[in-house]
Structure 1
Amino acid sequence: MERRLADIERRCRGGLDTIALGTEILDRLRRVVPAEAAFSATVDPVTLLFTSATAEDPLGAATAQFLDNEFGRADVNKFAGLAQAADPVGSLDRATEGNRADSARYREIMAPLGLGDELRAALVTGHRCWGVLCLHREASSPGFTDTEFALVRRIAPALAAGLRTAMTAPPPSKATTGPDPHGVGLILLDSALRTVSMSPEAERWLTDFPDGDRQDAALLPVSVLAAAAGPVPSTVRIRGRSGRWLAVHTVRLGPQIGVVVEPARPSELGAVLLSAHGLTDAQTRVAALVIRGHSTRQLVDELHISANTVQEHLTAVFDKFGVRSRRELVAVMLADMSGSA
């Protein structure tokens, strides 16, 4: 068991991309925590909306129902709640005290699929959630045990750190150029998240979405569906296979939902990239304003803190980024935002 857990933690540091990491770690995890089906996703650490996802059968066929439950219904063990909880791991049986039918997710989705207990985990490191995972047992199988909870709690921070690195690291030199970075795509969805229309630019952008995010060639990526199923309007930042950052914006257009896909602006990436370096909320606020060119006096006035506190936060930020000045910090951030090494 210790060798298997150490192997999982080692693979989390192996430089895999998000999809490969999620798939490979789930495969290894299920050797120590058996499950009949699994789901994993990366999330935007600011909005907690999915940025890529993979779902095994029979879960993939119920994607729209799971998204409606996750973002539109009250239920137990929501990922957003687990991400903020003292214990980021929970199970259906524990949350309902064995009365699974108390959960709408179980009654309406899992039971018809022949599934029983469900173990969910928010993958948190540096006070930020970078992904989620879910393991399912068959209805006839026993629920998850205390030992299995402990195993998932142990590997969750390592997997979170691996996902954080995969989402924010410079792209490999072999990364493709992808679609025209100046195009803006538009997708119209009906209230059931079915595609009404899609512009050619949107079709090209979708080819840059992470592998595995599209459960079927005829369907939209899970990340797009999740953004539309979540609070509207909203914005989610996605790292494309080309290394570019994309922004997915949603807006209500009467009975329809408009989804705009375009290159992410620097102002939309700051919080995500700062979070990747493990900054506290206070340090993030200071660094974000420094990147915008604010002076120490402006920081003092806007954040209502002393100049000494500003300097303390800046010193911590410089240490975490491995730089020595504001100019070097800005240069590193601009390189990250452009997707360059």
Structure 2
Amino acid sequence: MAAAAASLAHLEHRVSGIHALCRTGLDTDTLRADFLRRLRTIVPVDAAFFATVDPLTLLFTSAVAEEPLGSVTPLFLENEFGQPDVNKFAVLAESADPVSSLDQATDWDRASSARYRDVMAPLGLGDELRAALMVGNRCWGVLCLHREDLPGGFSAEEVRLVRRLAPHLAEGLRRAVTAGAIGAPPPFAAADTPPPGILVLDDSLALVSMTEEAEQWLSDIPGHTWPASGELPVTLHAAAARLILAEREDDLMSLPPSAVRLRGHSGRWLSVHASRLQGPTGPLIGIVIQAVPPTELSSILLSAHGLTNAQQRVAALVLRGHSTREIVADLHISANTVQEHITGIFDKFGVRSRRELVAALLAGGAPPA
């Protein structure tokens, strides 16, 4: 009995340490590395995939795949965006429970999953534990933990443990995305924003050509080293894969757009958009990378700073220049309620006036408190 109590106390101490880690304001790379290192002290993991996502489209903005997962990125994207399967990240993000294992989802029949048959089993991997990292109704990242292909997978207790940790990791990501503390600046100054860059891919997602401006933009995308790695960022592959999936669907409007917004090394916000091109030798995919106008970022920035839905509605009207009286009329709430919401908004942005709030958003968002 005493040994069991000591073991439980030790576990809770480790869990508390991970909770604290997620509140320290780390950048995404450091948070990922430290989180996985501490998680492995309480949950055995043989390989992990970790990605930040655009909460508006759920497309990956950066991703790290531990070996042997890195070699199968195209197969993984094909499964995630082009095939029916269990525990899709987009489905988990909309579920009441955003954490699930492959064994649980398939009723312990892994072979019924195309992802297991085509991607994981050939690598010697078996059960996987997936989590959509949610803050409220917004997803800021995804986590996938893998085990060696043995009969026993993740236990119910381990699933519950990751379920406890996931919201704290999500909150850490939310803070990191807004703060923009990602890494070293790119070789060009933030004031020297390049014109839009264009890349052309074939349907196998292989690079055909790119402009000089695209080379500059690629250096600002976190999570990879271009051109040293020889691989394009997973962000571009995800946008292209979403485009290909949209073309396979009868109802194209049912799918989110094949575009993603992310914060670069420089702190500026980037937009990556995929569209179909018709070339003389067959269809191609065009990728445009460009700066996102600050006016288009208000939704993601308001969410990133932890504003409630009511505060977001008030803030949106403040950004349009509405007075308190106009907000009262538009939202049918009292002037006191409007002022309470505005005070809460100012506190979360660390500003003291409407003018400072607008300035913070135009600058891409101040770090959250």
Output the TM-score relative to the length of structure 1. 0.89
The corresponding residue for 1:30 is 40
Measure the CA separation in 2 of the matches of 1:23 and 1:173. Answer: 14
* Map of 2:356 onto structure 1: 328
1:1-341 aligned at under 5 Å gives the runs 1-140=11-150, 142-169=152-179, 171=181, 175-176=185-186, 178=188, 180-212=192-224, 217-231=229-243, 233-254=257-278, 255-295=283-323, 305-306=331-332, 308=334, 311=338, 313-337=341-365
Give, in whole Å, the separation in 2 of the partners of 1:149 and 1:213.
33
Higher mean Cα deviation, 147-156 or 19-28?
19-28
Secondary structure of the equivalent of 2:75? helix
> Percent of counterpart pairs with the same letter?
58
Structure 1's 173 and 219: CA in aligned 2 closer, same or farther, altered over 3 A? closer
Q: 1:10 deviation in Å?
A: 2.2
Amino acid across the alignment from 1:218: G
Counterpart secondary structure, 2:331: coil
The range that moved more, 131-140 or 170-179, is 170-179
Structure 1 residue identity aligned to 2:349: F
Shift of 1:298: 6.4
User: Match of 2:359, as an amino acid?
Assistant: A
The answer as to whether partners of 2:19 and 2:165 remain within 8 angstroms in 1 is yes
> Offset at 1:3?
2.4
Match of 2:249 in 1: none
CA spacing shift, 1:215–1:46, aligned 2, 3 Å: farther
Is this contact kept in 1: 2:198–2:289, CA < 8 A? yes
Find the residue that maps to 1:90 and give its secondary structure: strand
Residue 209 of structure 1, CA deviation? 1.4
Report the 3-state secondary structure (helix = DSSP H, G, I; strand = E; otherwise coil) of the residue aligned with 1:2. Answer: helix
Structure 1: distance between partners of 2:77 and 2:226:
14
Question: How far, CA to CA, are the matches of 2:354 and 2:214 in structure 1?
Answer: 37
Give the Å deviation of 1:177: 5.8
> What are structure 2's unaligned runs of at least 5 residues?
1-10, 247-256
Q: Do the aligned partners of 1:244 and 1:338 also contact (CA within 8 Å) in 2?
A: no
Count of residue correspondences: 337
Q: Relative to 1, partners in 2 of residues 1:12 and 1:202: Cα closer, same or farther, differing over 3 Å?
A: same
CA distance in structure 2 between the aligned counterparts of 1:189 and 1:173, rounded to whole angstroms:
28
How far apart, in 2, do the equivalents of 1:279 and 1:271 lie? Answer: 10
Q: CA deviation at 1:117?
A: 0.5
Distance of 1:10 and 1:217 partners within structure 2? 34
Q: Which amino acid aligns with 2:295?
A: S
- Distance (whole Å) between structure 1 residues aligned to residue 99 and residue 241 of structure 2: 24
Residues 98 and 172 of structure 1: CA distance in aligned 2, closer, same or farther (over 3 Å): closer
TM-score, normalised on structure 2? 0.83
- Code of the residue aligned with 2:159 in structure 1: it is F
Q: Deviations over 1:106-150 (max 9, x none)?
A: 111111111111100011123311111001111125111111012
